[in-house]
Amino acid sequence: MKPNVIDLQDCGLVDEHLEELLAFMKNKEMVKELNLRRNKIGNQGATALANFITSHDNTLQDVDLNRNWIEEAGAQKLIDAIHKTIRIEKFAIGFGNLISQYLVNAVD
């Protein structure tokens, strides 16, 4: 396992699990990559992550949320949060025909 990486791909995580993880990560400034691919995270979890990104995180650079249950409203909250920060370099979200991938450019 790489340092500064939390890899919880395909763990069956739901919104409440993500909220608990974010509470643990709050003010720890240690995680650069967060892989939550192939879980059951929905809009509630997306909103919690968006709030975390804008309020409590100073190190996160790469987030993978592909193949979760996040709908357009949750995705938009995440996109808005990411555009408020210059740290996140790569952000992936999508399932089916929702959203494919965003490569966040800090220069936007």
- Residues 22 and 48 sit within 8 Å (Cβ to Cβ): yes
pLDDT at 13 over 80: yes
Task: Read off the pLDDT of residues 68-83 as tens digits, 9 standing for 90 and up.
Answer: 999 989 999 999 999 8
For the whole model, what pTM was predicted? 0.85
Domains of the chain: 11-22+29-96 (3.80.10.10)
- Residues 82 and 88 sit within 8 Å (Cβ to Cβ): yes
Under the banding of pLDDT at 50, 70 and 90, the label for residue 106 is: very low
Task: Read off the pLDDT of residues 16-63 as tens digits, 9 standing for 90 and up.
Answer: 999 999 999 987 888 999 999 999 999 999 999 999 999 988 899 999
